[in-house]
Amino acid sequence: MVSGDNNWYPCLVVGKNIVGRRTVTPIEQILKRIDDVLRDNRRTETLYIVMSVVLFVAGIGCLIQALYLHEFIWSIPPVATTALLHYPMKEVRDLRAKNIALATAPLLISTLPVDKAAEEMIRLLKSLHGETSA
């Protein structure tokens, strides 16, 4: 066996992986990873929305209690919970923007020439990580 030879193991064929008897191309691997990330993002988005609903209901409950008991000190927690709603809503908005970018990127990039596609992938990865391009 030559030290640079990758054909000694069937899964190390350049550019392809073998899953069972089916050959999986790098594009299929990328699409599967994107689908996995979208699924994880959807789960995280649902968690943020549930947390926001809990904060909102807790705030409304405290406000109703303040009005019912005529003890307006109970109106302070709704202000705090309303202020805490900003973070989950911002995260949901960011997740949705990233999901749109991830969902549309493979189709748009596949229509470009190879050199332009590489540039667009780099730009997409930078934008998903929050880096600004100069």
Render pLDDT for 77-108 as a digit per residue (tens, 0 to 9): 788 878 878 888 888 888 888 888 777 777 77
Q: Tell whether the model's pLDDT for residue 130 goes beyond 80.
A: no
| Contacts for 105-112: CB closer than 8 Å, 24+ residues apart | 105/34, 106/27, 106/30, 106/31, 106/34, 110/27
Beta strands 17-19; 22-24: pairing state? antiparallel
pLDDT at 79: 81
Confidence at residue 10, expressed as pLDDT on a 0 to 100 scale: 46
Question: In the chain, helix, strand, coil percent, each to 5?
Answer: 75, 5, 20
Classify 15 in phi/psi space as left (phi over 0), alpha (psi -120 to 50) or beta. Answer: left
pLDDT at 20 over 70: no
Identify whether the C-beta of residue 77 lies closer than 8 Å to the C-beta of residue 59.
Answer: yes
Token pair listed for 115: 């050199």
Q: Which residue did the predictor score with more confidence, 12 or 56? A: 56
| pLDDT per position as a tens digit, 53-73 | 988 888 888 888 888 988 888
Segment holding 23, helix H or strand E: strand 22-24
